[in-house]
């Protein structure tokens, strides 16, 4: 998209489109988080387990807990994207200052890096 080079930010209509997408992703992520948390709590309240079942239950609980933590992290990243939409800075790469292509934002709406910016950042970390 050559017009990304000349634009410095997305239009209000485009930002609204991204906002709608992010809000729907937050809704799904919160639902997933709530399901994981209720699974963790249900396992805790279930009495009578044999020793092997307790071990398997503990492992499942730990995995569910890790997935819940990842969901919460994802929700926070999406909420950060909403703040950037409100500030009208959404979609601007924090490394290059250029607009992140719309296709990338549709696929990864919480990103703050273009592919170019991500490559630059990875090269700097590799030093």
What's the whole-model pTM score? 0.81
Choose among 67, 62, 63, 58: nearest CA to 33: 67
Contact 110, 47 (CB under 8 A): no
Give the residues of the chain that fall short of pLDDT 50.
1-5, 49
For residue range 93-106, list pLDDT tens digits in order: 999 999 999 999 99
For residue range 60-81, list pLDDT tens digits in order: 888 999 999 999 999 999 999 9
pLDDT of 52? 52
3-state SS string for 32-95: HHHHHHHHHHHHHHCCCCCHHHHHHHHHHHHHHHHHHHHHHHHHHHHHHHHHHHHCCCCCECCC
Domain range annotation of the chain: 10-90, 91-127
């Amino acid at each position: 998209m050559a017009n990304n080079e000349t634009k410095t930010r997305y239009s209000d209509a485009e930002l609204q489109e991204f906002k709608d997408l992010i809000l729907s992703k937050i809704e799904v992520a919160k639902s997933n988080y709530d399901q994981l948390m209720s699974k963790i709590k249900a396992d805790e309240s279930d009495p009578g387990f044999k020793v092997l079942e307790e071990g398997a239950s503990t492992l499942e609980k730990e995995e569910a807990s890790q997935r819940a933590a990842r969901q919460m992290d994802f929700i926070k990243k999406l909420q950060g994207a909403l703040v950037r939409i409100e500030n009208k800075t959404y979609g601007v790469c924090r490394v290059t200052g250029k607009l992140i292509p719309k296709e990338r934002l549709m696929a990864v709406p919480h990103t703050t890096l273009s592919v170019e910016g991500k490559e630059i950042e990875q090269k700097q970390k590799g030093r």
